[in-house]
Structure 1
């Protein structure tokens, strides 16, 4: 037999053996196959054909409008609620000390004492440093002695003037001599005033050798130690004091926000919250104090200054924080979870749960959007149930089933969908609660339009 013929016969025998083995182990292999692959395998043979498993809708895969078995699509829902919703503006801010003072000596000399401790709080009038005052005391003593000398000269000149006036009457001296003596008296009187000024200056200079805190604040790290000789008004200060209570935050908002901030701020101070980087933890709450007098032309923003009590010292100069400015409050508006808002070719819409357990597509108008909920101007009423999950397989009129658990079956990508926190009526001072009972932030950024970036409306 030719070599090629023998090879073909051998290959045919091997293929037949492999097919037989696969046929004999087909049921065991099917059971171990992944679920997604089982959907494409032919059904297992049974002894009774009437007991064979029925084919799944849609060729063994989930129908686009149904669950795995072609039934209603499991979804999660939330209720539209009527609530009072605050409107906020957000900006990145820098913490700045309310007052900052660099302690600089006003006279030169050797530092003999610095009684404060670095990092401690000091009060206005506390001693920060003392400079050697021996030279300045001597200067004061000289000024005092000079005044005493001039006082003696003045007394003598006045007595001479009295004698000259008596001699003028008897023509013993000329009137010119008396006038000259009167001028001498006036000169000594002026000299005494100069002496008083010199004494006051020497006293002030001597007082400058004791350096005191001009404000309440916290002392920083000193830059000069005891024993060093400093110069008056030198470029290097001794230490810097910063006032931390209260404290300021400088932040910027778009110039378009002036139309809302200026009128609202003229009625009463606007509330500002300082937040950490995650925008969830409030560090402190304060008031808007200053709107800058000009817009930054390079950025198109305007700088604002808010003041915080900072009782817990949660704010520190130089730190970055997120500022949350409450502009106004929308009273009695309809709110819905952000997850329920969808966008399609015809605009923004939601799926409303109908009485017949079907999804009804309804156009809505959104005016304010937050991370967790939105304000719906038109299209929804208080109490209506809206769908918040399953949009990849959802369409207008599709049958749905409200899931009782916190998650719905896997989407087409195999990942479970968690239940979003539903909108809730504000309680306990305006706080809303999500589906897990935890506080839910209700504030809305000032943003036109609505909705997150959901999937487009599926084709019916």
Structure 2
């Protein structure tokens, strides 16, 4: 009897304890903290980088206008000034032609003087009725012919003098000799490259860009150019020339960027990287980790400060880069966007911002 009573008391106590536990409410989970950024609509352009090389703005192959034997020329790498003689050919044939032209002019001038004297005398005789009109007219015709021969001889003399000047090849501008195409003693033809002159001050950065960039306004924004071998060497430039047609092999378009004075610190042929920002438009820049999908469409999770809950918001992605994405539609200034762990978050879940604390 005593055992039964004790057992009943124990069972009753256990029941009371269980009933007390069942009345306690489970502890609610604290809202999950999230990382976030505040959306800001700003004019942002696409940053494009391209590898190119430094080239002289002017690169001029120079040649003689006449044939001849090359006597002298400057060496490759020589710095020259405008008007300096770069090469010379044998002047003997041109000098002989000049002497012949001078002699022809002297002969023509003597014939003209004689024709002038004869014409003047015949006019006086005709005025005294000593000679017929026909004789006077013949003398005037001979004078006109003699004048034409003098004009022709003078033109021939000018050509001979000009041809003699062609025996010296002169620099059209300041620069550096970058290539030679003939050696002393060689007989060169008219038009054959003897030396190549490049401008030593004005430099271009030359890039081959893909077709998709041709629709952008390349002429407007400045281009930042850095040396690949030394990124501390920086120059700025403007696009000055874009080829109108693509290269038949690479299908790229050649773009030449005129560099400022800082470009003089870059050697010809050096590899450079050019950076340009194209077509600014109103965009929101977000970390790439903020992007998720909702029903197969790109979306982000936006925090509602009133309800402390997240909600999907469909967005239009303009473009990506290595770290960020750029939204053109779907977000407004001030929207708070979750940026981490979005694959584990859902629409309607209650969260708190890390900046708010517990």
Normalising by structure 1, report the TM-score.
Answer: 0.56
Match of 2:277 among 326, 338, 350: 326
Tell me, what secondary structure is at the counterpart of 1:363? Answer: strand
Structure 1 residue aligned with 2:73:
114
Distance 1:87 1:401, change over 3 A: closer
Tell me, what secondary structure is at the counterpart of 1:173? Answer: coil
Structure 1 residue 270 corresponds to structure 2 residue 270: no
Q: Is the 8 A contact 1:249 1:305 kept in 2?
A: yes
1:330 & 1:305 partners in 2: Cα distance?
A: 24
Q: 1:30-71, CA deviations, whole angstroms, 9 ceiling, x for partnerless residues?
A: xxxxxxxxxxxxxxxxxxxxxxxxxxxxxxxxxxxxxxxx99
Tell me, what secondary structure is at the counterpart of 1:328? Answer: strand
2:62 & 2:248 partners in 1: Cα distance?
A: 35
Match of 1:100 among 59, 79, 85: 59
2:247 & 2:105 partners in 1: Cα distance?
A: 62
Tell me, what secondary structure is at the counterpart of 2:40? Answer: strand
1:122 & 1:157 partners in 2: Cα distance?
A: 52
Q: 1:211-256, CA deviations, whole angstroms, 9 ceiling, x for partnerless residues?
A: 112344442121212222212123xx11223346242635445469
Normalising by structure 2, report the TM-score.
Answer: 0.69
2:248 & 2:191 partners in 1: Cα distance?
A: 37
Distance 1:309 1:123, change over 3 A: farther
Structure 1 unaligned residues grouped into runs of 5+:
1-69, 404-460
Distance 1:281 1:364, change over 3 A: farther
Match of 1:384 among 311, 325, 336: 336
Q: 1:371-405, CA deviations, whole angstroms, 9 ceiling, x for partnerless residues?
A: 233333434644836333x45655553879969xx
Ranked by relative contact order (alpha carbons within 8 Å, sequence separation 6 or more), the top structure is 2
Tell me, what secondary structure is at the counterpart of 1:220? Answer: strand
1:355 & 1:180 partners in 2: Cα distance?
A: 115
Distance 1:111 1:241, change over 3 A: same
Distance 1:293 1:205, change over 3 A: same
Tell me, what secondary structure is at the counterpart of 1:238? Answer: strand
Structure 1 residue aligned with 2:19:
none
Q: Is the 8 A contact 1:123 1:213 kept in 2?
A: yes
Where is the strand percentage greater, Structure 1 or Structure 2? 2
Alignment of 1:58-457 (within 5 A): 77=35, 79-80=37-38, 82=40, 84-88=42-46, 90=48, 97-115=56-74, 117-234=75-192, 237-243=193-199, 245-247=202-204, 249=206, 251-252=208-209, 254=211, 258=215, 261=217, 269-274=220-225, 284-290=235-241, 303=253, 305-309=255-259, 311=261, 312-313=263-264, 324-330=275-281, 333-351=283-301, 360=310, 362-371=312-321, 372-376=323-327, 377-379=329-331, 381-382=333-334, 384=336, 386-388=338-340, 390=341, 397=349
> How far 1:194 moved relative to its partner?
0.7
Tell me, what secondary structure is at the counterpart of 1:192? Answer: helix
The two structures, once aligned, show a CA RMSD in angstroms of: 4.3
> How far 1:114 moved relative to its partner?
1.7
Count residues with an aligned counterpart.
317
